[in-house]
Structure 1
Amino acid sequence: MDGLLVLADGTVFEGELHSGDTATGEVVFNTVLSGYQEVITDPSYAGQIVCFTYPHIGNYGVTPEDDESERPRCRGVIARSITSRPSNHRATESLPSWLARHGTPVLTGVDTRRLTMHLREGGAMCGAFGPATEKDALLAAARNEPGTKGVDLVSEVTTREPYERGDGPLRVVAYDLGMKRNIPRMLGRIATVEVVPAGTSAEAVLDREPDGVFLSNGPGDPETVDVDLGGLLGEVPVFGICMGHQILARALGGRTYKLAFGHHAGNHPVRRCATGQVEITSQNHNFAVAADSVPAADVTHVSLNDGVIEGISCRDIPAFSVQYHPEAGPGPHDARYLFGEFAAMMERV
């Protein structure tokens, strides 16, 4: 049926409404050319509606092997076009039927270039899409949506019970702040990984006698997330990514702030300060660490797009973090060496 996306500022985009009911959330755009299934199932997108800038998605269908969690995590999907006839030997289902089966709202036929330019100029904003006959209700829903600033979304996506993955020689306790499945796969090559809920105390972690602690990616505002790092820093090596990077920086006295429209892509260039080497990275975050706010750590990586801090390393204790996703899923593999650096750090301590 005819559908509308209505943003909180009153801007309206026409499209065709497919599966699911009305969707509300913070609208962000993602520029990946492939990896749509991993994006849609990434828990970091909790509370958000994802607009794909690539004009035609769904070509290779979906397969359970590419899920980053057990179901779609974003509140809705916007695209110019989604094919219902995939062409790939791995596909077990088409993207539209998979989204419909999970009840994920979908709006196609949207002028995604215009929407992306609007979000770039005005910043990420809340929106709602649904039947074209409900324009006023959609505007009200968009304006009542709280967005992600000041909102705790980690508690919605963290695991409820601990579980183990991998069989590597070291032992890592990983805080699930919204963890993607590819992270324990990568960690599992270097360690036996016990994934624990976000609220697990430092004492409970140290009782497990880990060689290291990992802080995962996750959605929402880092100011709302309470991870008990104080009792871990200096006691055991720590490695954080994305939300984990922000949590580590805040534990060291740093500040975080909300970006205008976030970084959501599989092709962001990042400079490694020690070597000058440029890494192409996968990114999905709405907040960043404020420059010069973490005096106890050195900046190790910087975004070449906008200068945002992309990595820090503590001077006096074994702890480091990056803002991007070295596990990819989707994305390039330029930064996978960081898991090796984590292993080397654990072995040195």
Structure 2
Amino acid sequence: MSGYQEVLTDPSYTGQLVTMTYPLIGNYGVNAEDRESPVPQVAGFIVREASRVHSSWRSEEGLDEYLGRHGIPGISDLDTRALTRHLRSEGAMRGAIAPADMPAEEVLGRVQNHPHMEGLDLASGVSTVEPYEVAAVGDERFHVLAYDFGVKAHSPKLLSERGCRVTVIPASTPVEEILSDPPDGLFVSNGPGDPAAVERAEAAILGLAEADVPVFGICLGHQLICRAFGARTFKLPFGHHGGNHPVKFLERQTVEITSQNHGFAVRSGVGDKIPGAPGLRLTHVNLYDGTV
């Protein structure tokens, strides 16, 4: 099973315990090339069985060694599929990975004192501190600003492979600075936490959109764009996570399969115009729950 390193280093998982349903994790180790950020972002890692042997010509260290080096707690020998069924029924919840000798009352107290995800601005803690550029591969066709709320490394890379010079800017970048030199496009990145707690992005999104600059985003970025135009967001019971989520393309009345990874979603009135933007209309809705 592949992809666990991308999950571990995805800033969208900041502050969260992540459980994997595939029974054996760690078989090919860890390498620098596949990471989405320089360090693991999860608060803890839960697996059914951690592979005791890792084998790949690209491997640089084992999963256990990697997590230990970064101080990330992990636990194995749990029925992760039963845990997933429980979360599916009861919703995502606060939890802890604790030493076996810690009193249960102390563990429970710490869990209950931990803040809920609603209202948390986690994006500020994972955004880049300084701007940086990713050069276009081949001829430069466009200059794209990437608004970093926890951007995955592969997003600027994929844009650069399509002829875009990408300037990644901190989430704290003043709106005036962004609007003073409009790019060819604004990419609003993924990230962790509640989109309702990240209000500073809305002015830049609206300002560039009014200047006819294309604005696009994924995950948290998609939610921030929708909020800027008057839509509402809410916390999902257990999130959308996986590569097989069906969505309906409303114009063509067709179904498309998408990859999704978010714990919050945008409320939908199917086919309705977006409140703050008469020229915009919903195009796709999730067939599981009707969200945008």
TM > 0.5: yes
CA RMSD of aligned residues (A): 1.6
> In structure 1, how many angstroms separate the alpha carbons of the residues matched to 2:236 and 2:57?
39
> In structure 2, how many angstroms separate the alpha carbons of the residues matched to 1:282 and 1:38?
14
* Residue identity (%): 51
> In structure 1, how many angstroms separate the alpha carbons of the residues matched to 2:68 and 2:51?
13
How far does residue 248 in structure 1 lie from its aligned partner after superposition?
0.7
Q: 2:146 aligns with which of 155, 167, 174?
A: 174
5+ long unaligned stretches in structure 2: none
How far does residue 68 in structure 1 lie from its aligned partner after superposition?
0.1
- Are 1:269 and 2:269 counterparts? no
Residue 75 of structure 2 corresponds to which residue in structure 1?
Answer: 107
Deviates more, 1:186-195 or 1:42-51: 186-195
> In structure 1, how many angstroms separate the alpha carbons of the residues matched to 2:80 and 2:281?
39
Q: Which amino acid aligns with 2:122?
A: L
How far does residue 87 in structure 1 lie from its aligned partner after superposition?
2.3
Residue 200 of structure 1 corresponds to which residue in structure 2?
Answer: 173
> In structure 2, how many angstroms separate the alpha carbons of the residues matched to 1:271 and 1:305?
10
Q: 2:119 aligns with which of 129, 136, 150?
A: 150
Superposed CA offset, 1:236-262 (max 9, x none) = 211111111110111101100110000
Q: The residue matched to 1:288 in structure 2 has which SS? A: strand
Deviates more, 1:158-167 or 1:65-74: 158-167
> In structure 2, how many angstroms separate the alpha carbons of the residues matched to 1:201 and 1:277?
41
> In structure 2, how many angstroms separate the alpha carbons of the residues matched to 1:209 and 1:222?
24
How far does residue 122 in structure 1 lie from its aligned partner after superposition?
1.1
Deviates more, 1:134-143 or 1:224-233: 224-233
5+ long unaligned stretches in structure 1: 1-32, 310-349
Q: The residue matched to 2:64 in structure 1 has which SS? A: helix
Q: Which has the higher contact order (CA 8 A, sep 6+)?
A: 1
- Are 1:128 and 2:96 counterparts? yes
How far does residue 118 in structure 1 lie from its aligned partner after superposition?
1.3
- Are 1:97 and 2:65 counterparts? yes
Residue 139 of structure 1 corresponds to which residue in structure 2?
Answer: 108
Q: The residue matched to 1:140 in structure 2 has which SS? A: helix
Residue 230 of structure 2 corresponds to which residue in structure 1?
Answer: 253
- Are 1:233 and 2:209 counterparts? yes
Q: 1:222 aligns with which of 186, 191, 195?
A: 195
> In structure 2, how many angstroms separate the alpha carbons of the residues matched to 1:248 and 1:232?
11
How far does residue 145 in structure 1 lie from its aligned partner after superposition?
1.0
> In structure 2, how many angstroms separate the alpha carbons of the residues matched to 1:200 and 1:94?
38
TM-score, normalised relative to structure 1? 0.76
How far does residue 276 in structure 1 lie from its aligned partner after superposition?
4.6
How far does residue 202 in structure 1 lie from its aligned partner after superposition?
2.9
Residue 281 of structure 1 corresponds to which residue in structure 2?
Answer: 258
Tell me the number of residue pairs that the alignment of Structure 1 and Structure 2 aligns: 277
- Are 1:212 and 2:212 counterparts? no
> In structure 1, how many angstroms separate the alpha carbons of the residues matched to 2:190 and 2:220?
5
Whether contact under 8 Å (1:166, 1:187) holds in the other structure is: no
Alignment of 1:288-303 (within 5 A): 288-292=265-269, 294-295=274-275, 296=277, 297-303=280-286
Larger strand proportion, structure 1 or 2? 1
How far does residue 115 in structure 1 lie from its aligned partner after superposition?
1.1
> In structure 1, how many angstroms separate the alpha carbons of the residues matched to 2:117 and 2:283?
27
Whether contact under 8 Å (1:171, 1:192) holds in the other structure is: yes
How far does residue 62 in structure 1 lie from its aligned partner after superposition?
1.3
Alignment of 1:300-339 (within 5 A): 300-309=283-292
> In structure 2, how many angstroms separate the alpha carbons of the residues matched to 1:137 and 1:55?
30
Whether contact under 8 Å (1:127, 1:141) holds in the other structure is: no
Residue 63 of structure 1 corresponds to which residue in structure 2?
Answer: 31
> In structure 2, how many angstroms separate the alpha carbons of the residues matched to 1:259 and 1:34?
26
